[in-house]
A and B are shown apart, each in its own frame.
Chain A
Amino acid sequence: MKTILFFLGLFGYCFAQLPVSGKVIDQNGNPVFAVNVVLKADPSQGTLTDLDGAFQWDKLKKNDTLLVVFPAYQSYQITFSEVLENQPLLIKLKEKALSLEEVQIRARTPIADQFSVIKLKKLDIYLNPVSAADPLRAITSLPSSTNTNESANPSLRGSAAGRTRVVVNGVPIYSPVRNTQINGLGTFSLFNTELLDAQYVFASNPPLTFGNSSGGLVQIETQKELKKNSWQLSMSLASVGFFRNQQLGEKSFLQVYGNYQFSAAFTGIQPNSLGFLKSFGTRDVGLHLRTALNSNWSFSLMSYGIAEDYEVETEVYSYKGLATGDKIRSFHVAGLDWQGKSSGLAIRAGWDGSQSNYAYGNIKSHTKTVQEYASLSYKNFLNRKWTLQVGANYDGYGRSFDDTTSVYFFALDPSSPYQAIDTLARRPLLEGHTYVKFEPSESLHLAAGLRTNVPLGELDPFLSFQFSARQELGNGHSILLSGGRYHSYTVPGFFFRGTELLESNQVAIDYSYEGELSQATFAIFGKKENGLQNDDFFFIRRADIFGLEGSIQQELGRYSRFTLASTYLIHQIRFNVEGDVFKGSRDLPIFLKSGLSINPPKLFSINISYIGRPGTVFTAIDGGNFRNDLNAYEPIFNTEVNAERLPAYHNISVGLSKYKLTSYGSLVAFLSVNNVLNRRNPLAPLYNREYDSLDYAILSLRTFYFGLIWEINGK
Chain B
Amino acid sequence: MKRVSIISVFICIGMAIFMFFSSQMAIANEPIGPSYDAIWEAQPAKDSSLVNIQDRIYQSFVQSFIQQQEQPISEIITELAVLDKEKNQKLIRYWMSYAEYYHSIFHLQNDNKEAAKKACMSSLGRLEKLKGKNSEDYALLAMVQSFAIQFVSPMKAPFISSKVKKYAEKAISIDDQNPRAYYVLGSNDYYTPEQYGGGKKVVEYLSKAIDLPEQAVSNPYLPSWGKQEAYEMIVKFFIKKEQWEEAKQYFQQGVEAYPENYQLNKLASKLVGK
Chain A residues proximal to chain B, CB less than 8 Å: 31, 33-34, 36, 38, 43-48, 50-52, 56-57, 69, 71-72, 96, 99, 101-102, 104-105, 121, 123-124, 127, 227-228, 441-443, 474-475, 516-517, 555, 557-561, 597, 599, 601, 661, 665-666, 711, 713
Contact = CB atoms under 8 A, between A and B. Distances in A.
Interface in B112-147: 121, 125, 128-129, 131-136
Contacts of B50: 34, 51
A558 B34 contact: no
B241 interface: no
Contact of A72 (B46, B131, B135): B135
Interface stretch (B10-18, B37-45, B64-72, B248-256): B37-45
Interface string B60-104: 000000000000000000000001000101011000000000000
B125 A475 contact: yes
B152 A516 contact: yes
Contacts, number: 136
Contacts of A57: 42
A57 B43 CA distance: 10
A43 B217 contact: yes
B219 A123 contact: no
B246 interface: no
Given A44-B35, A99-B173, A559 B134 contact: no
A252 to B, nearest CB: 16
A666 B156 contact: no
B155 A71 contact: no
B200 A227 contact: yes
A99 B170 CA distance: 11
Given A43-B33, A44-B34, A102-B173, A34 B221 contact: yes
A140 to B, nearest CB: 21
Nearest to B45: A50
- Point out which of B33, B155, B195, B220 has the most chain A C-beta atoms below 10 A from its C-beta: B155
Contact of B132 (A43, A441, A559, A601): A441
B135 A51 contact: no
Contacts of B217: 36, 38, 43, 69
Going nearest first, the 3 A-B pairs with the smallest beta carbon separation are A227-B197, A34-B221, A102-B173
Nearest to A38: B33
26 contacts: A33-B89, A34-B91, A38-B32, A43-B32, A44-B33, A47-B34, A48-B39, A50-B44, A50-B47, A52-B87, A69-B217, A71-B135, A71-B216, A72-B175, A101-B172, A105-B170, A105-B173, A227-B197, A228-B200, A441-B132, A443-B131, A474-B129, A555-B152, A555-B153, A559-B155, A711-B195
A99 B169 CA distance: 12
A560 B153 CA distance: 8
A13 B121 CA distance: 58
Contact of B34 (A45, A52, A597): A45
Contacts of B169: 105
Contact of A36 (B35, B129, B174, B219): B219
B46 A51 contact: yes
A105 B172 CA distance: 10
Contacts of B32: 38, 43-44
Given A99-B174, A599-B154, A665-B195, 14 more contacts: A36-B33, A36-B218, A36-B219, A43-B32, A43-B33, A51-B89, A52-B87, A99-B176, A123-B159, A475-B125, A516-B151, A555-B155, A559-B153, A560-B155
A349 B178 CA distance: 38
A566 to B, nearest CB: 23
Nearest to A126: B158
A601 B155 CA distance: 10
Interface string B253-269: 00000000000000000
A56 B47 CA distance: 14
Contacts of B89: 31, 33, 51
A71 B154 contact: no
A559 B91 CA distance: 38
Nearest to A123: B158
A50 B220 CA distance: 12
B271 interface: no
Contacts of A475: 125
Nearest to B134: A72
Given A48-B219, A228-B197, A56 B174 contact: no
Contacts of A557: 153
Nearest to A601: B154
Contact of A661 (B154, B175, B195, B219): B195
B200 to A, nearest CB: 7
Contacts of B239: none
Interface string B17-36: 00000000000000011110
Interface in B200-217: 200, 216-217
B154 A559 contact: yes
A99 B91 CA distance: 22
B159 A50 contact: no
Contact of B46 (A50, A123, A124, A228): A50
Contact of B87 (A33, A71, A555): A33
A471 B212 CA distance: 37
B162 interface: yes
Contacts of B154: 558-559, 599, 601
A71 B121 CA distance: 26
A666 B173 CA distance: 35
A219 to B, nearest CB: 18
A162 to B, nearest CB: 33
A104 B220 CA distance: 32
Contacts of A127: 155
Contacts of B173: 99, 101-102, 104-105
A215 to B, nearest CB: 29
A121 B196 CA distance: 14
B171 to A, nearest CB: 10
A31 B35 CA distance: 23
A74 to B, nearest CB: 13
Contacts of A43: 32-33, 217
B33 A51 contact: no
A597 B155 CA distance: 10
A46 B33 contact: yes
Nearest to A42: B32
Given A36-B217, A46-B33, A69-B217, A121 B162 contact: yes
A48 B91 contact: no
A102 B170 CA distance: 7
A517 B153 CA distance: 8
Given A71-B222, A101-B173, A555-B155, A666 B91 contact: no
A320 B98 CA distance: 72
A43 B216 CA distance: 11
Contacts of A31: 89
B134 A71 contact: yes
B182 to A, nearest CB: 12
B144 to A, nearest CB: 13
A561 B34 CA distance: 54
B170 A713 contact: no
Contacts of A104: 173
A699 B170 CA distance: 48
Contacts of A72: 134-135, 174-175
A526 B218 CA distance: 57
Contacts of B35: 44
Nearest to B31: A44
A33 B169 CA distance: 25
A33 B129 contact: no
A599 B157 CA distance: 13
A513 B220 CA distance: 38
